[in-house]
Amino acid sequence: MRSLLLLGLAGLAAKTQAHPARQEPKGAALEKRGIDLDAFRLKELADYVPNEEVVEDPPVSLSKRADYLETAKDVVKSIVPKATFRLVEDHYVGNNGIAHVHFKQTVNGVDVDNGDFNVNVAADGTVFSYGNSFFTGTLPSPFAKRDVSDPVDALKGAVDILSLPVDTKDATAKQTGDSEHYTFKGTDGAVSEPKAKLVYLIKPDEKLGLAWRVETDVMDNWLLTYIDATTNEKIFGVVDYVADLATYKVYPWAVNDPTEGSRSVVKDPWNIATSEFTWISDGSSNYTTTRGNNGIAQVNPSGGTSYLNNYHTWAFELTHEFRPF
């Protein structure tokens, strides 16, 4: 089930970077420095199709294969036939028999960071529901490596444009993981080492842009900054995991039976006295899944110890307002 239960102090939240206990930051929050992050806020793109609408769509409702992964792939191909994508390795089958599969859109071999497709397959092999934010506009031509800016210059561009309190004078980029994923060494002012990854982004103008996704945690602002990967002069969008409100659509304490009550949206519901890291951090890492200060909330049907590899919800902008099946 994608609906969440309010677990009180068992922190619902959830992965990206280090974040210790709250303390006085080296620099004031960006809004106090005259930076309007709302001007860079990304649009919500997801389009959700519930079960009743799937049943009314013959091409989708009849998509049934022996393997639920193949069924899910068929759905993606039928909805966005020209798209290229990869399977995200977090799929699983719940206790109710419904399988959950997540795909990431790719263009020219690069992830579209906000291009996602989720398919839920029923126990009988038919499609239960799905949602997607895939890009369907004109695709860019393949790019040459010489056309992409240096990641260090991208970091410096983000720091300069947003007036971030990070010293990049001695910054160097160390490749980690895939060929276009970097960690920056030699910086000062951030809580943890900044990072960068080359991605495509569906921009607010609904066009696709090649960007460096620069991650900087400066305590009061934990940012993912999408900066033009050719000029380093334009920011396509910003996500702030700290300043932006985290919301959860949950059943309140008095409701013991979901059939006898309704969910409501709560904002930043933690008690900082008992959850000093809020619900989006455990003191060493921040999360965008349902994991945080005092607990981890996700499926574990087998009761095993490798539950972190099981399916879990993921809220890119900390909006944990998922629809129940």
178 versus 154: the higher-pLDDT residue is 154
DSSP string, 105-142: EEETTEEEEEEEEEEEE-TTSSEEEEEE----SPPPPP
Q: Is the pLDDT of residue 36 over 70?
A: yes
Averaged pLDDT for residues 278-288: 68
pLDDT band at 63 (very low <50, low <70, confident <90, very high): low
> For the segment 85-127, what is each residue's pLDDT rounded down to a tens digit?
999 988 888 888 889 999 999 999 999 999 999 999 988 888 8
Domain boundaries in the chain? 30-43+142-240, 47-132
3-state SS class at 86: strand
Q: Going along 151-255, which residue ranges are E strands?
A: 172-175, 181-185, 195-202, 208-217, 222-228, 235-240, 247-251
Q: Is the pLDDT of residue 278 over 90?
A: no
Question: Quick check: 246 and 239 in contact, CB under 8 A?
Answer: no
At a CB cut-off of 8 Å and minimum separation 6, what does 144 contact?
none
pLDDT band at 43 (very low <50, low <70, confident <90, very high): confident
Averaged pLDDT for residues 27-47: 72
Q: Compute the chain's Rg from CA coordinates.
A: 21
292 versus 93: the higher-pLDDT residue is 93
Least confident window among 14-23, 61-70, 86-95, 112-121: 14-23
Q: How many Å apart are CA 37 and CA 112, to the nearest integer? A: 22
**Among 4-13, 61-70, 122-131, the range of highest mean pLDDT:** 122-131
Task: Assign domain 47-132 one CATH number from 3.40.50, 3.10.450, 1.10.3470, 3.30.2010.
Answer: 3.10.450
At 212 the pLDDT is: 98
The one-letter amino acid code at 246 reads: A
